[in-house]
Amino acid sequence: MKGLPAFFAKRYIAGEERKDAIRVVRHLNSQGILATIDNLGEHVKEPSHAEDAVREYLSLLDDIRDGGVNSSVSLKLTHFGLDISDEIAEGNLRGIIKKASELNNFVTFDMEGSRYTQRTIDTFLRLHEKYTNIGIAIQSYLYRSPMDVRLLIEKGASVRLVKGAYKEPTQIAFPKKRDVDKNFEELMKSLLLKGNYPAIATHDERLINEAIRFADENGIPKERFEFQMLLGIKRKLQKRLADSGYKVRVYIPYGADWLPYTLRRLRERKENLFFVIKNLFD
């Protein structure tokens, strides 16, 4: 990693190789913090490139086991051919999920832009009928998310609740932060009460404190949910929560695609850039 983009990226991205991610996981585990690893990649257009992604994740699962570290994996469906066809993506995912199940590991489907939301949920639900070691991210800035959360709760699926980081039109997404936060809080409480081991994925301390208060008030034990955060963000808060007995999982991206990935995320919404800069000295 070189240059100014690397200055920003190296705090938030483990490196280019699997061993870099495993090294970061081992350090976090030593602090009582769990991890989930994501090999960076999206919008694959060639079947052979999707097959490369499958091989990388199969090797990643082996490395997690062989390294004796505590980490699940996360992935984006367009990395496995969703832009080619639903059938190709689903077929590629089956091998990864099956191996993860054999290794007692867990796979979370990241949520991408809104044009993929329904297809991602449909693929997830088909696979969830056979494999229970999978979860899915839901974005609170979408108007449709309460409906999706209700369905996923009914199906007994594990949900990672996030606010959402893609630029979306106001016809389908809340344009104001206060409305995104309000929806997040309502969905969070539904998941805490009725969900299957939800992940509260936010760096917003008000929402984290509200989750803790709500769980205590309703007799929800710490073992029934976890907090998730990004690598390099709110590191002191991550450690404080872990030291207080809460499960904390850090999202660890790695891969040769780090530069285009970083630039895309920073360009996509001005809020992403402000967020990174604000947390540089945390």
Model pLDDT for residues 101-126, shown as the tens digit of each residue: 999 999 999 999 999 999 999 999 99
d(CA 128, CA 97): 10
Tell me the percentage of the chain whose pLDDT exceeds 90: 84
Q: Does pTM top 0.85 for this prediction?
A: yes
Rounded to 10 deg, the angle between the 177-194 and 205-217 helix axes is 30
pLDDT score of 165: 86
Which residue has 């209700």 as its token pair?
150
| Residues β-bridged to residue 75 | 109
Domains of the chain: 3-278 (3.20.20.220)
126 catalytically annotated: no
Tell me, what DSSP letter sits at residue 218?
T
257 catalytically annotated: no
pLDDT score of 271: 58
d(CA 154, CA 199): 17
Q: Which one of 18, 38, 63, 110 is the catalytic residue?
A: 110
Which of 108-122, 139-153, 259-273 bottoms out in mean pLDDT, i.e. has the lowest? 259-273
pLDDT score of 4: 47
| pLDDT, tens digit (0-9, with 9 covering 90-100), for 216-264 | 999 999 999 999 999 988 999 999 999 999 999 999 999 987 776 666 6
The single-letter code of the amino acid at 174 is F
User: Average pLDDT for residues 126-152, to the nearest whole number?
Assistant: 98
The yes-or-no verdict on residue 26 having pLDDT over 60 is yes
Contacts 24+ apart (CB under 8 A), 94-97: 94/127, 95/54, 95/58, 96/54, 96/57, 96/58, 96/61, 97/127, 97/131, 97/133, 97/134
Query: How high is the mean pLDDT of the chain?
Result: 92
Q: Which one of 63, 148, 160, 181 is the catalytic residue?
A: 160
